[in-house]
A = this chain, B = another copy of it.
Amino acid sequence: MVKIAVDCFGGDHSPNANVVGAVEALKMHDDLYVVLTGDEQILNNELAALSYDKSRLEIVHAPKVISHDERPTVAIRDPETSMAKAMELVRKNEDVAGLVSLGSTGALLSGAFLKVGRLKNVIRPAFCPIMPTMDGTGVGICDSGANAECTPEQLKQFAIMGSIYLETAYGFESPKVALLNIGTEEDKGDRLRLETFELLKNTECINFVGNMESRNLLTGEFDLIVCDGFSGNVLLKSTEGACLEMLKLFKKVFTSSLKNKIGALFLKKSVMETKEFMDYRNYGGAVMLGTKKIVVKCHGNGVAKTVRNCIDQAYKMSNGGLNERIEAALAEYAPRRAQEE
């Protein structure tokens, strides 16, 4: 049985999206067990309308919710919140493999660092979301914002952990790893990039293909982009923002005149399919790599299917032995650190 805790509050569509998503996930895997954290009465009301295998779902009561205007490092310390409760479950119960949350990213980050902790030899855990690419395969970005400042050794770990993640959760074979840089030549970039390039080139357990420029993120040429959390965050959000603005622009075109509205009618089906294809809510969440248990951050405006996908992701990572594989890889490829600890 794979047990996953689901923080049922903190999202735009919580708790309904969380509860429905959890029930849908139960239907996907017979050996999945979910623990919902949040206000018991509210969750029971949501569950009343649904049919599901009651032997594989339980509620752990947590009366409070972390709001987005609270200081994350303070908020996560309140044990009565649904997120802190999910963290506690993961920390204290060996059989709980991980947690999924739609709540404050900052609080989740603090909680993951403070309460869940790092795997052996991991310098710092990192966020790795997946973006849809034009060829339909997707590309991971690691780190996308957990560590604003990084060392080359950290970036090397992101490359290793991200590769294992793509293999475990998405079935990639030998994922193509690229270093985010401001040019493709080997001598491009700042000291961090120059040193990281050297390290990655000599890391045998990954398929390093060289530097990449951010303009090629969505082409499908690369499977994993390795970067510090600051530039990774810029990469992720500027791409999301540009895609969103382009969709808005086309929407404006489609409705700007009667002639255009008629044309849009012909195209409606295909455009809806394209929008669906680009919708990150179809792609699960940003996982945290390097924590002792699985932590999946679901987008705050995720809907039921997004939550379902995030739970499915967590299930696959657990089943695929993600953390065991990361520990083994880092033990082999970071021998000096291992000896120091």
Contacts and interface: CB of A to CB of B under 8 A. Distances in A.
A248 B134 contact: yes
A215 interface: yes
A254 B264 CA distance: 10
A5 to B, nearest CB: 26
A230 B182 contact: yes
A107 to B, nearest CB: 13
Interface residues of A, number: 53
A30 interface: no
Interface stretch (A7-15, A92-100, A236-244, A291-299): A236-244
A152 to B, nearest CB: 14
A146 to B, nearest CB: 10
A244 B266 CA distance: 23
A191 B189 CA distance: 20
B148 A189 contact: yes
Q: Classify the interface of chain A: helix, strand, loop or mixed.
A: helix
A1 interface: no
A276 to B, nearest CB: 12
Q: Which of A219, A259, A266, A278 has the most CB of B within 10 A?
A: A266
Interface in A250-266: 250, 253-254, 256-257, 259-260, 262-266
A215 B237 contact: yes
Contact of A238 (B189, B234, B246): B234
Contacts of A244: 215
A213 B247 CA distance: 19
Contacts of A241: 214-219, 239
B219 A233 contact: no
A195 to B, nearest CB: 13
A138 interface: no
Interface stretch (A163-171, A267-275, A313-321): A267-275
Contacts of A229: 182
Interface string A165-198: 0000000000000001010000001110100000
Given A235-B238, A238-B238, A262 B266 contact: yes
A249 B274 contact: yes
Contacts of A246: 242-243, 246-247
A304 to B, nearest CB: 24
Contacts of A182: 145, 148, 229-230, 233-234
Nearest to A106: B183
A217 B190 contact: no
A31 interface: no
Nearest to A273: B253
Interface string A132-164: 001000000000010011000000000000000
